[in-house]
Structure 1
């Protein structure tokens, strides 16, 4: 495989390939990307990711499904790169479970009727699977499942297609830059 000069992959396409679009618009599909194709993330717009493929093509994809690749270790004295910390999501899961447990106890003790129980539990959503060092957590705020290895989280699956706007309106779209510029 030939690679575009100066190309440095930041991600690879998932093992089953992925749909791609000419623009961040579901009405403009293009040829799907091949499984495990190395890509470089150029820009993010909400869930959309503009990628440069190792063969020189570019496409927009659902960035939540891209798989990060390891980068060289930081140079001495450089700031440490941060990864998603699993602890806040674990804390939210514990809080949601505690709220649900409290409602169940009140219902079982006769302090709530079924309509009140339904009102107290409406909108509560969690999902947790722990298997040894691996954890899968449902992130209800971002409508996705994430996988964690104890130190970092990465998106595993999502509930919906990519959105044009960021899930958090307080954050502007991100443009990824390299030492050589955007």
Structure 2
């Protein structure tokens, strides 16, 4: 099992999450992974893939469903540009996370019910993987995953229109 500091995501779970298994055997189902959860693919056997999560937990999944994260793009050494500045996207992600946290707190305190919580979070989508100075940021409004090396954002994957909710 990997220690948390060894974790290097190679994939994320699909947008609707995914089933896991204790072994490469469909008769031994385990828990379901959250949508867009970063994972590290560490082994493969046919269509099966063994993944490790950031907390060291490991399971087998249908490896064909994993969404790969590309290798880090090379840095450019260029200063921040208006369109390449990662801070506006980070601010939007922070607002979305804060909104989710407020709704979760309200639900835990009993000031809202589960239906109100679900209604409030229905259109909420965010994704971020931070690994030292590198970050992968999901902007579903633009339909893109971005890579950030600390100096700029670089598009590295787009979300197909059919995949967006």
TM-score, with structure 2 as normaliser: 0.48
The structure showing larger relative contact order (alpha-carbon pairs under 8 Å, at least 6 residues apart) is: 1
Q: Per residue, is there more helix in 1 or in 2?
A: 2
